Amino acid sequence: MLTLMRHGEASWASATDEQRELTEQGIAFVNEQAKQYANRLAPVTRIIASPFYRTRQTADLVAAHMSTLHANSGAKAAGAIEIILDDRLTPDTPIPDAVAALEQFWKPELLVVTHQPLIGLLTSYLLQGSILYPEPFLPGQLISMDMEWPGAAQGIRIPH
């Protein structure tokens, strides 16, 4: 299963786009999403994310939540969530480059934290094989899909 997540709501009060950080509401919503989708995220042991600060914060929040769940359940050791930062997951990355990042770090249970417009285009590509109709994503929203390998029209959306 592949889960794609847009970073939480971010402030505009930064010198550069790369330095924007999550707002209090963004942090709260990401934590709420991690709790609400805990069962879906439980098998995740690897997160790949854009190196932008807001996506790193989002990945860290989800990883902390999952590590706590793993430790409390005894299923995995606390801290077993690997976070990889990849420049191919920034907002304007071409789809072939983003797919190459997924292929390089592929695991059967993977969480990707990235931005619009990339997440909408990537979702459309993986589900439909086309980027003509990008999926809309609110900050902190996620989608999961069943797939064996990341490629055009290889995903099957898992309903919430």
Q: What is the mean pLDDT of the chain?
A: 93
Name residue, tokens 């907002």. 91
pTM: 0.93
- What pLDDT score was predicted for residue 76? 46
- Rounded-to-integer distance, Cα 33 and Cα 143, Å: 11
Q: pLDDT tens for residues 41-86? A: 999 999 999 999 999 999 999 999 988 877 777 654 445 799 999 9
Taking only the tens place, the pLDDT of each residue in 63-75 is 999 888 777 776 5
Cβ neighbours of residue 142 closer than 8 Å, sequence gap 6 or more: 3, 4, 5, 6, 33, 37
All domains of the chain, ordered by start, with CATH? 2-158 (3.40.50.1240)
